[in-house]
A and B are shown apart, each in its own frame.
Chain A
Amino acid sequence: DAKTTQPPSMDCAEGRAANLPCNHSTISGNEYVYWYRQIHSQGPQYIIHGLKNNETNEMASLIITEDRKSSTLILPHATLRDTAVYYCIVRARSGGGADGLTFGKGTHLIIQP
């Protein structure tokens, strides 16, 4: 799996959009970008994933650059409950099996009131 680089921490004001960057310059053609978050004292939670097109769901949007070497997770209207560690993970989709996730250090996002 490709290595990812994320800032260790970020602040965002409540109600504003939170933009979390991830660098994955060694990503290969069959690898997807996944985002998970971990709120304090809870298990990680899946947010979104994508291959090359931008994706949006009820939680967030994922913007992947055209060269696929970086991506940005966007939380459109951050709330205090979005304070968490956000993990960007690059991995190939499993063919016929099951693979574990390799977590990096992630970004600690702090939403300020």
Chain B
Amino acid sequence: DTEVTQTPKHLVMGMTNKKSLKCEQHMGHRAMYWYKQKAKKPPELMFVYSYEKLSINESVPSRFSPECPNSSLLNLHLHALQPEDSALYLCASSQVGLKNIQYFGAGTRLSVL
């Protein structure tokens, strides 16, 4: 099973809402990632978790708050977003170490009104 599952597939939220994106994998991977992809642009790294600890934060605004409650789950908590935060949010997972091949979910398409 090489599947990374992201929910929801689509999300519409207002600028005052609080919502969460979820990501789940059962491949035994101990590294998990969040990427943001704007329309017609390549994905951009946001966060990296390694062994459930945040190891990389690419200077992401605090209105995005990641959480890794266990080795299979990754959340992205959203609060007070702006319309320019509308994008496809991609989750990925991989082994930690030499064989760092990343497996991606299908993404959550977020619209901020």
A residues 7-34 in Cβ contact with B at 8 Å = 34
Contact with B along A91-102 (1 / 0, CB 8 A): 001111111111
Q: How far is the CA of A16 from the CA of B31 in the complex (A)?
A: 38
Contact of B106 among A42, A46, A95 (CB under 8 A): A42
Minimum CB distance partner of A48 in chain B: B101
A93 contacts B100, C-beta separation under 8 Å: yes
Q: How far is the CA of A42 from the CA of B88 in the complex (A)?
A: 10
Minimum CB distance partner of A44 in chain B: B104
Q: Is B97 an interface residue (CB 8 A)?
A: yes
B42 contacts A98, C-beta separation under 8 Å: no
B107 contacts A94, C-beta separation under 8 Å: no
A98 contacts B94, C-beta separation under 8 Å: yes
Interface size classification for chain B: 20 to 34
Q: Which of B43-51, B70-78, B79-87 contacts A (4 or more CB under 8 A)?
A: B43-51
Q: What distance in Å separates the Cβ of B101 from its nearest Cβ neighbour in chain A? A: 5
Q: Is B64 an interface residue (CB 8 A)?
A: no
Q: Is A77 an interface residue (CB 8 A)?
A: no
B50 contacts A101, C-beta separation under 8 Å: no
A contact residues vs B (CB 8 Å cutoff): 34, 38, 41-46, 49, 85, 87, 93-106
B contact residues vs A (CB 8 Å cutoff): 4, 30-31, 33, 35, 42-45, 48-50, 55-56, 58, 90, 92, 94, 96-107
11 interchain pairs (CB within 8 A)? A43-B92, A43-B107, A45-B104, A46-B103, A94-B100, A97-B50, A98-B33, A98-B100, A100-B35, A100-B48, A100-B58
Top 6 A-B residue pairs of the complex, sorted by shortest distance between their CB atoms: A43-B104, A98-B31, A100-B45, A103-B42, A98-B50, A94-B100
Given contacts A43-B107, A44-B102, A96-B96, 6 further A-B contacts (CB under 8 A): A38-B43, A43-B4, A46-B101, A94-B96, A94-B100, A98-B48
